[in-house]
Structure 1
Amino acid sequence: MFVLSPLMYRRPFLTLMEQQLLLLSLQYIYRHQIAENVPLEDTITFDELAQVTKLNSKDLTRFLRVAISRHVFQEPKKGVIGHTAASKLLCKNPMLKAWLLNIAEEFWPAFTRTVDATEKWPGSEEPNETGYSLAHGTRDNPFNEIRKDHHRHQQFITAMRFSHLHPDYNISYLLNHYKFGDTGSDDKSTRTVVDIGGSNGEVAIEIASRYSHVSCIVQDLPDTIAGLQSQVPLALKGRVTGMAHDFLTPQPVHGADIYLLRWILHDWSDAYCVKILQNLIPALKQGARIVVNDISIPEPGQLGIKAERDLRYMDISMKAFNNARERDVEAWESLFTEADSRFRFLGVSMPPGARMSIIEAEWMGDKTPLPTC
């Protein structure tokens, strides 16, 4: 019988280590602005580049040769470095550059301290008791910590927008699948949608464009919402408005038809998600809908191994960053149940081709909730 040697099983683990070492090289390249100091259409020696960047030539050469082995830069002759198509993107594409910063300087250090955090704060759901907290030496939550530095904050926002450019995350899946203007009757009276944590208003603008009887209020923190009106087309002025609001405080807009949370709850632990939902309750009218657009993890084995692995990576990334998590259907339902028994959980649907699900609940108020779907 043919028996595989234990050495055959090293490869997956070696690959993981190789990826970490490449990231180490990219962190060095980003932090010291290496790409910007290599001529776009010419070459430069390692020694010359070391002088320009004020770095040790031997260290620089070793870090760059790791990147060169993956076609980030090239060494056309010994001791000389030039750009490749990949390395040029680090100069020419600010979104990619911001994303690399986010991975190398924000997330990766957090990953390396996450096991330490679970030992220091076992089972914690607090956003300041994480691998990120230990790696960055902060007792603030990551969002507040990043916000302290304007450039760092802007880079973080840009990185998030770059991540969301993936076709599977396109807002068309939400807009084509969920009818924000549908009242279930011929009634076309004005409906109000509150986009909580709605950033630059991209989703709200699309909703208002599709439904002439829908008005949207975009809520986010003051510095995020400040530029909203410059993004709103003239034809939608008055129907798409902005409001400064922290969703960890009570909801100020009472009586809206739909409260939308897109890419929000996966950033927070269960305890904080329950608080976010409870903050809505005083504002809710009977029949109001809570629409969550976020990842919903299928049962183990329902996806191909690559797709499931990606979701598991995302889940543990959220743990490292903010003690947050990705959730399955049962976990989504539990959030609403724990927040208040008057929420009627309507279920989870996944538009074909999308990576994000639509999770919906209805506020029943004093009316006895019907059985969930």
Structure 2
Amino acid sequence: MESTARIVQLASMIASHTEAINDYLNDRGFRTPSFSLDALDSPGIPSDAVNIQAARASVISACSELKDLLTGPRNLLKFQWTDYVSVKAILRFKLDQSFDVDSSTTFKKMSEFSGLDERTVRRIVRHGIINHRFFRENEPGVITHSALTAILAQDPAARNSLVVELDEFWPAGVHMADAMEQWPNSEECNETGFTVANHTTKSMYDFFADHPDRGGRFARYFSKPEPVAAADEILDNYDWAKKRKMVDVGGSHGAVAIGIARRFQDIQCIVQDLPGPVAEGESRLPGDLKDRVTFMAHDFFKPQPVEADVYFFRSIFHNWPDKYCIKILQNLVPILKTGARIIIHERVLPGLERLDTADAMRAINLDVGMQQLLNAQQRELHEWPELFRRADHRFHYVGAYHPEGAIRWIIEAEWQDEEMGGTA
């Protein structure tokens, strides 16, 4: 007897899991997903509903695979080269902000608002409707908001994120292969798809320093608050109670250090970053923590001036190629005391056994994204011990731990003087 065809397996999985999700939402009086104006921003499934969250992830994955199978390899090779053209135009000319969320408009009114001719508005808006569910046209020529454009019109952070992704990240990706050809195997931050796209010889961060409007948009993109679980990962899963002094290197406004100081009363925390974030962090610091959390302007490409028990790096190393990460570690060496710990809090690229998960796709996409912007990278688990070894053989790799449900891994090394012996 022949095995069940994959497309039937997928269809059955989609049907059964979708029914379970629908029953869950109905039983609790939750609204079912839609794209109507009053739709929920997300399906509204609580994070603690583990089975339903897993069912949702399975449905999304299965739908994608089923769509690809029924599209077929030859048609999958066709590149949708107009895909996000309408979205960029809608954002650039603020068509999503041209009328109130609870009202309607016409192509003519959008034309008058934007300065674009009516025919151009019509073709751009209809492209957005059919490809991205931007706007709705239930009557000929009468445009209302969809759930997506309603979010853009009312949520500046969501709108800014999409602008940054399309105006900064996308052009860099288009030119990444050009940069790879021009500078083969480069580890320089100014030899990237971003530098080609922007006709510059500067790295992305140096370029943004010269273009404060774009730099400000980029900074706001990363100022979004993280879920509480992500903020608590490092607090709940490391033994801070035994430490007396930690340095949060590149710690921005000090969110991690403040969390540690609040929970562990005997630890001193120093937050290091460039002068701007340090000044902002100091201005926000709660008064009751000023005796245990301090801020210091410091460039981690210069020697570390503070002796501590722990040096903490959160999402720092993925911004830099190996040669620069090695320099960051080597700049710690002169001040390190025996037993000092280095903690790196980062995503880790998945192994082959997890490549079919949504988390794996996000990590791999981010890895390529770091290359197109900075020639930087996410790293696989086996690459971390080697990075420490290349920096100095006295860094002894302790191991890595991935808290359940966490975004990042906790990667740790210990500094040992040569006379102590041991193996990395």
The TM-score, its normalising length taken from structure 2, stands at 0.79
User: Which runs of structure 2 are paired with 1:313-324 in the superposition (5 Å)?
Assistant: 313-324=365-376
Q: CA deviation at 1:127?
A: 0.4
Q: CA deviation at 1:167?
A: 6.8
Q: CA deviation at 1:11?
A: 5.1
- Measure the CA separation in 2 of the matches of 1:245 and 1:233: 22
- Say if 1:174 and 1:152 are closer, same or farther in 2 by CA, change over 3 A: same
Specify the alignment match of 1:48 in structure 2.
109
Specify the alignment match of 1:175 in structure 2.
235
Matched, 1:284 2:284: no
Specify the alignment match of 1:143 in structure 2.
205
DSSP-derived class of the 2:423 partner: coil
Specify the alignment match of 2:141 in structure 1.
79
Matched, 1:114 2:176: yes
- Say if 1:23 and 1:197 are closer, same or farther in 2 by CA, change over 3 A: farther
- Measure the CA separation in 1 of the matches of 2:83 and 2:137: 17
Question: Structure 2 residue aligned with 1:25, among 77, 80, 86?
Answer: 86
- Measure the CA separation in 1 of the matches of 2:410 and 2:325: 16
Matched, 1:9 2:73: yes
Q: Which amino acid aligns with 2:73?
A: Y
DSSP-derived class of the 2:311 partner: strand
Q: CA deviation at 1:237?
A: 1.4
DSSP-derived class of the 1:44 partner: strand
Question: Structure 1 residue aligned with 2:320, among 247, 257, 268?
Answer: 268
- Measure the CA separation in 2 of the matches of 1:219 and 1:28: 40
- Measure the CA separation in 2 of the matches of 1:41 and 1:116: 45
List, as ranges, runs of 4+ consecutive aligned residues in structure 1 with deviation greater than 4 Å. 4-7, 11-14
- Measure the CA separation in 2 of the matches of 1:176 and 1:274: 28
Q: CA deviation at 1:362?
A: 0.9
Q: CA deviation at 1:331?
A: 1.1
Specify the alignment match of 1:216 in structure 2.
269
* Contact kept? 1:22, 1:67, Cα under 8 Å: no
* Contact kept? 1:342, 1:368, Cα under 8 Å: no
DSSP-derived class of the 2:84 partner: helix
Specify the alignment match of 1:362 in structure 2.
414
User: Which runs of structure 2 are paired with 1:244-263 in the superposition (5 Å)?
Assistant: 244-253=297-306, 255-263=307-315
* Contact kept? 1:128, 1:141, Cα under 8 Å: yes
Question: Structure 2 residue aligned with 1:295, among 328, 334, 347?
Answer: 347
DSSP-derived class of the 2:137 partner: coil
Q: CA deviation at 1:321?
A: 0.8
Q: CA deviation at 1:55?
A: 2.0
- Measure the CA separation in 2 of the matches of 1:261 and 1:29: 39
- Measure the CA separation in 2 of the matches of 1:55 and 1:249: 51
DSSP-derived class of the 1:178 partner: coil
Q: More displaced, 267-276 or 147-156?
A: 147-156
Q: CA deviation at 1:182?
A: 1.9
- Measure the CA separation in 1 of the matches of 2:233 and 2:215: 28
Q: CA deviation at 1:112?
A: 0.2
Specify the structure having the higher radius of gyration (Cα): 2
- Measure the CA separation in 1 of the matches of 2:151 and 2:122: 21
1:62-96 Cα deviation digits (max 9, x unpaired): 22222222322122322232222221211222221
Q: CA deviation at 1:139?
A: 1.2
* Contact kept? 2:348, 2:363, Cα under 8 Å: no
Instruction: Identify which of structures 1 and 2 has the higher relative contact order when contacts are C-alpha pairs closer than 8 Å and 6+ apart.
Output: 1
Q: Which amino acid aligns with 1:95?
A: A
- Say if 1:285 and 1:103 are closer, same or farther in 2 by CA, change over 3 A: same
The TM-score, its normalising length taken from structure 1, stands at 0.89
Q: Which amino acid aligns with 1:8?
A: G
* Contact kept? 2:355, 2:361, Cα under 8 Å: no
* Contact kept? 1:225, 1:244, Cα under 8 Å: yes
Q: Which runs of 5+ in 2 are unaligned?
A: 8-68
Q: CA deviation at 1:224?
A: 1.9
- Measure the CA separation in 1 of the matches of 2:421 and 2:121: 64
Matched, 1:126 2:166: no
Q: Which amino acid aligns with 2:348?
A: S
Matched, 1:59 2:120: yes
DSSP-derived class of the 1:359 partner: strand
* Contact kept? 1:343, 1:369, Cα under 8 Å: no
- Say if 1:214 and 1:63 are closer, same or farther in 2 by CA, change over 3 A: same
* Contact kept? 1:39, 1:82, Cα under 8 Å: no
What is the alpha-carbon root mean square deviation over aligned residues?
A: 2.3
